[in-house]
Structure 1
């Protein structure tokens, strides 16, 4: 009977992993389609500019304002309509109202669009949550090279085992295991899934990258990056629709951890 139950559990787990793998493949296709669309839009705009330059008596290209008008005239209206219809209502809890209201900036679509490297900022949000989780679990370790959310259990075993003698520090292993379990329980209450969101954030980082330059500690850019309302608007206006729900969940978890440790939203 025990063997049958084990087999049934394994089959169920295998089916779940298969569904999650299909979900990740779908998200990858969405990102690829989004990039292809942007490339086609850029090519279309370049062709239009070349035509106008050829017809211009002075032979000069039109101003950047005119180019923006072309972009908005052909694509802006449709994109805005699509986004307004598909914008999901977040299921994020309201426990973070005080945290969000403490932000010094207001939520505006135009300000979100003006943020530097918006695509990379999506990757940075995912990356920041990953590092935040790892830093919380392995609090005494300054260097986390080779640590990922997917290998936390193995790393707990590794760091609690003496590299030369092989002796296990049972107390330390229990301490790390408990910190990990407590954090996952807290994030799970927000909607975080331990089998889905670790590979999801890794996928987002690989797809979009992270910010190349760190903003100054007290610069306006740093304040924008630490504004959760502005980051939420960025996700809604920049990310493909099928990725928005999970990205908003990632941001909610990041807000929760920032509120608990009383540190800025994005840490460098």
Structure 2
């Protein structure tokens, strides 16, 4: 009976991994598609600008030609928005600056509701805040597992098992500290089990957060202590609304999950959401 249960559990785990791999492959496919789209749109924009510049005498732009160019651009933009709106995708591309403008559809009511609390936040900062949320969760997980290590350069969520082996092995003698290794493995497994309650998947969300950080970047400057920015950036409701109104729709579910996990870890640590060393 035990053998049957073990086989059943392994089959279930294998099916889950298969589904998560399919999601990752879909994400990679959309990334490639939108990189190609960006290149084509950039070439088209450059060709249009060159045509207008050549046709304008003495550096002046003919009003009729210029208006036609603007109208064509608006038409292409509307057409592209309609195309993305009706496509059923499972992920988003790596380039957010072009994709957000063409694929993210925000209802008028949502936009008006978010305007009052985010009016003073530049679009670039909003994008970087998305990356900061993912970056902060990764950092909190690493700090929890390797709590005795102040320098975590080269440590990522994807290489935690390898780093546990590395830091528990003496660099000169190769002797393994079995007790310390077991301690780290336990801390890692315990945290992953707690995050799993909120939907976190070890096979999916570590590469997802890495993708988000690489796509959006992180905040350049730390907000002044007790400033309005610091208060907003550490407010889960503000960040949740930011994700809903700024992130591509297909990324919102997992970004909201990442924010939930970050909020739970911060609450347990009794520290702000965003930490700077």
TM-score range normalised by the length of the shorter chain: 0.5 to 0.7
Matched, 1:59 2:59: yes
1:214 to 217, 220, 228: 220
Matched, 1:145 2:166: no
**Larger CA deviation: 11-20 vs 257-266:** 257-266
Which consecutive unaligned segments of at least 5 residues does structure 1 have? 90-104
Aligned-residue CA RMSD in angstroms? 4.2
Which consecutive unaligned segments of at least 5 residues does structure 2 have? 86-103
Corresponding residue SS for 2:201: coil
Q: Is the 8 A contact 2:134 2:213 kept in 1?
A: yes
Pairs within 5 Å for 1:89-238 = 107-108=117-118, 114-116=123-125, 118=127, 122-163=130-171, 164=173, 166-168=175-177, 170=179, 172-206=180-214, 208=215, 210-211=217-218, 214-218=220-224, 223=230, 228=236, 231-232=239-240, 235-236=243-244
Relative to 1, partners in 2 of residues 1:238 and 1:106: Cα closer, same or farther, differing over 3 Å?
closer
Of structures 1 and 2, the one scoring higher in RCO (CA 8 A, sep 6+) is: 1
Relative to 1, partners in 2 of residues 1:188 and 1:22: Cα closer, same or farther, differing over 3 Å?
same
Which residue in 2 is equivalent to 1:44?
44
Which residue in 2 is equivalent to 1:97?
none
For this pair of structures, how many residues does the alignment match? Answer: 243
2:105 to 54, 66, 84: 84
Matched, 1:254 2:256: no
1:135 Cα deviation after fit? 0.9
Deviations 1:149-182 (A, max 9, x none): 2343443344345453725352x44543443344
CA distance in 1 between counterparts of 2:137 and 2:36 reads 28
Q: Is the 8 A contact 1:254 1:265 kept in 2?
A: no
CA distance in 1 between counterparts of 2:268 and 2:116 reads 23
Relative to 1, partners in 2 of residues 1:18 and 1:131: Cα closer, same or farther, differing over 3 Å?
same
Q: Is the 8 A contact 1:30 1:240 kept in 2?
A: no
1:265 Cα deviation after fit? 1.6
CA distance in 1 between counterparts of 2:182 and 2:2 reads 28
